[in-house]
Every structure is written in C-alpha cells, then in structure tokens.
Amino acid sequence: MIEATPDTANSILDHLTRAVVVVDGQCRVQRLNSAAESLFQVSTRQAMNESLMQLFPGLTVLDEAIGQALEQGASYTEREIRVVMGADRTVTVDCAITPMQGPALLLEFEQIDRHLRISRENRLIAQNQAIRELIRGLAHEIKNPLGGLRGAAQLLESELENADQREYTGIIISEADRLRALVNGLLGPDVRLERQPTNLHEVLERVRHLAIAEAPSGLSIVRDYDPSIPLLPAAGDQLIQALLNLVRNALQALGDNGTITLQTRTQRRFTIAETQHRLVARIDVKDDGPGIPAALQDQIFYPMVTGRAQGSGIGLPIAQTLVNQHGGLIECSSEPGCTVFTVWLPLEMDND
Ligand SMILES: Nc1ncnc2c1ncn2[C@@H]1O[C@H](COP(=O)(O)OP(=O)(O)OP(=O)(O)O)[C@@H](O)[C@H]1O
Ligand SMILES: [Mg+2]
C-alpha cells in the first residue's frame, strides 16, 4: 500500500505521460507536471503564477470553455487544438478541463499529432496498395486483347493495297500503342530496386538541374540542404524520377513566377508504416503557388486524378510507389501560397 502523502501525489503527477496543468480562478498557472513542462517547453519556475494565455497565446481558443467551466463547475473537452509554440513548432492537442475546489481548474493535455499522422499515413499506404492491385488486374485484361488487336491490324495492313485504307490500320496501331503506353505508365516501374549507398544531395542536384532547364526565367529554385545527411540505400535513378515528378508539379503549378524550395533534414527515431527507424531523411519540396484545389486534396495520389488540362494524373502515384519501394512515404500539405510535398526515407543501410 502506497502512503498518500503530498510527495507521493506529486511524484505520481510527474510520472503521468499526460500533460497536466492546474490554474487558479484567474487562469494563472499553479502547478505543472513534467509532461506539461516538456510539451510546452517551459519550466515550473518560469510558468508559476503567470497567466496561461500569456504564456501560450495558442491556447486562447480555450478561453470560452475555461470561463464556462469556472462559472458552471462543469467539465469540458476540446479536441484537436493547434497550439503555436514558437516560430517552427506547432502541436495538436486534445484538452480536458475539470473544475476543482479553490476555485481552480485541472487541464489535461494529450498530444495527438502522432495519432493523426499515423492514421493518415496508414490510409495513404493502404490506398496505394489497393490502387496498385486494381490496376494490375485491369492492365492484364487490357494488354492481352490489345496485343491481339494490334497484331491483327498489322496483318491487315500488309494485305491492303490501297494507301487510303492503310491510313485506318495505321490509326488502330498507333492508338493501340498509345493505350499500351498509358497502361504501362499506370503500372509504374516494375524493376527490382538495386539499392546502393546514394548521396541524396547529388540526386537533388540532378533534379534541380533538370528542372532549371524546363523552368521559365521568373522562377527560382532555392536549396536548403543539411550537409550532415549520410548516404542512403537507394536506387538513384528511381529517386530522381520520384523527386522530379514532385518538382515538375510545382513548376506547372507556379507558371511563370514563384519559388521552389528543396529542403533536406534528418529526423531521429521516426516511424514510417509502423516500422520504427533510427534515422530518416526528410525532403521537402515546397512551392509558393496557388495550392492544390481543395476538391482534389484527398485524391491526388490516385491515378488519373489531375487538375491540369494536359495532365494524365500518374506522376504522383508513380512517385509514391517508388518512395514506398524504398521503405519511405510521401505526404502532402497544401494551402494557397504554400504547398509542401514531404518525402520520408529511412537511412539505415540494413533496412529492406
Ligand atoms: N505543387 C502543386 N501545386 C498545386 N497542385 C498540385 C501540385 N502538385 C500536384 N498538384 C495537383 O495534383 C494533380 C495530380 O498530380 P500528378 O503529378 O499525379 O498528375 P499530373 O501532374 O496532373 O499529370 P502527370 O504528372 O501524369 O503529367 C495535379 O494535376 C495538380 O492538380
Ligand atoms: Mg505531375
């Protein structure tokens, strides 16, 4: 039996994985457990007696719920609150507010970024697998009869004496070829990857040079590379193709003016598709163009989904497949003025 002293209560509070903050009736911080210190990156000494909202302006969305909890003595739960913690850190939390005697309030925060990311990620991977199965089946059904049609048209062509009639068989043959190329494109690359230690920045520089050759003069491509990234086990050509598809999309979205940023970073202990990696590379392809149309945002990794008149909609599914074959994942976030495609790639050489 553990003795219920104030010390044990404090120790239990500090061992909770959930962040706990106690505020008084004026919403001034009275207690902060260790999880809250690390979530909000503030020490108890810094936060003590300070107004919660002044410390974390991102929590002002809780104002109303806190007011009501104090007035009515009722508990509230707010979900998916995005709290801006600093220039480059935003966390998403669920918050439960419970009134206590005093008056005081107990606020419990649970960081949910990770849950959100993992469920979105699993959806992307499952989506990609389902699509590939469907296409493989369909491609098989199309390619066989197509081969027969093309062969018969060729035979017919050799029998025809009239050049005008040969024009028709020519159309059958060239349309059959176009359809075959489309189906092959949809099937994506069918090569066993030959992975070798690859310098990510050499890959990106190739992509950048190819893109510069296609880009109008009002467009700039900015580099922000982390030089400490080690070699990664990859098939360089496949990675070039995947990244070039992302950069081309950005070029097409920007038109004549704008900036594309290629950024690389590493991240320790990161989970992709339920596999924990010691170290992964993160490559961001950012552009300041109009963004992905809202109606397309959830579907862009499906084949044949395109927002462009000349688009065939296979660039992104192919890029996703290539990156998946490296044990990685492509994610996307987009709003007008800022579209980011993030490529995660595991960096362990022994990972297959
Ligand atoms: N950076 C971006 N900014 C705005 N929209 C984008 C961006 N990247 C992709 N999209 C949207 O996603 C759609 C699908 O892209 P995807 O690369 O799969 O096909 P596509 O570019 O239309 O055709 P393809 O790549 O086969 O030539 C695009 O048509 C475009 O509407
Ligand atoms: Mg494309």
Structure confidence by residue, pLDDT tens digits, 274-293: 788 889 999 999 999 999 99
Which listed ligand is nearest to 293 at the C-alpha?
1
Greater pLDDT, 300 or 90 = 300
> Has residue 270 got a pLDDT over 80?
yes
Report the candidate in 72, 50, 58, 46 with the shortest Cα–Cα distance to residue 109: 58
pLDDT for position 191: 61
Query: Going by CA atoms, what residue is nearest to atom 7 of ligand 1?
Result: 249
Rounded mean pLDDT, 307-314: 88
CA 264 – ligand 1 centroid, Å: 22
Instruction: Kindly report whether the global pTM for this prediction surpasses the value 0.85.
Output: no
pLDDT for position 350: 56
Rounded mean pLDDT, 238-265: 95
Lowest mean pLDDT among 80-89, 95-104, 318-327: 80-89
Rounded mean pLDDT, 190-201: 84
What percentage of the chain reaches a pLDDT higher than 70?
Answer: 94
Q: Which residues pair with 339 in a beta bridge?
A: 287, 334
pLDDT for position 7: 77
Greater pLDDT, 27 or 11 = 27
> Has residue 2 got a pLDDT over 70?
no
CA 301 – ligand 1 centroid, Å: 9
pLDDT for position 289: 96
CA 144 – ligand 1 centroid, Å: 30
pLDDT for position 87: 64
Q: Share the mean pLDDT of the chain.
A: 87
Q: What does the pLDDT look like over 135-171, one tens digit per residue? A: 878 888 888 889 999 999 999 999 998 888 889 999 9
Closest atom of ligand 1 relative to the 318 alpha carbon: 18
Greater pLDDT, 252 or 92 = 252
Query: Going by CA atoms, what residue is nearest to atom 31 of ligand 1?
Result: 307
Confidence of residue 351 (pLDDT cuts 50, 70, 90): very low
Query: Going by CA atoms, what residue is nearest to atom 13 of ligand 1?
Result: 306
CA 293 – ligand 2 centroid, Å: 14
Spatial contact of 204 and 283, defined as CB atoms under 8 Å apart: yes
> Has residue 352 got a pLDDT over 70?
no
Spatial contact of 83 and 90, defined as CB atoms under 8 Å apart: yes
Query: Going by CA atoms, what residue is nearest to atom 17 of ligand 1?
Result: 315
Greater pLDDT, 346 or 125 = 346
Rounded mean pLDDT, 326-331: 92
Q: Which mutation among 246, 249, 343 tests ligand 1's pocket best, with the greatest number of atoms within 8 A of CB?
A: 249
Which listed ligand is nearest to 253 at the C-alpha?
1
CB neighbour list of residue 253: distance below 8 Å, 6 or more residues apart: 287, 289, 290, 291, 339
Greater pLDDT, 185 or 337 = 337
Lowest mean pLDDT among 1-10, 23-32, 59-68, 191-200: 1-10
Which range of 82-96, 185-199, 223-237 scores highest in mean pLDDT? It is: 223-237
pLDDT for position 1: 64
CA 233 – ligand 2 centroid, Å: 25
Rounded mean pLDDT, 198-205: 96
Name residues contacting ligand 1 (CB within 6 A).
245, 249-250, 253, 287, 289, 291-292, 296, 300, 305-308, 311-316, 339
Query: Going by CA atoms, what residue is nearest to atom 12 of ligand 1?
Result: 300
CB neighbour list of residue 38: distance below 8 Å, 6 or more residues apart: 19
Which listed ligand is nearest to 317 at the C-alpha?
1
CA 114 – ligand 2 centroid, Å: 29
Say how far apart CA 173 and CA 152 lie, in whole Å. 9
Q: How many residues are recorded in the chain?
A: 352
CA 289 – ligand 1 centroid, Å: 12
pLDDT for position 349: 61
Q: Report residue 187 CA to chain centroid gap.
A: 23
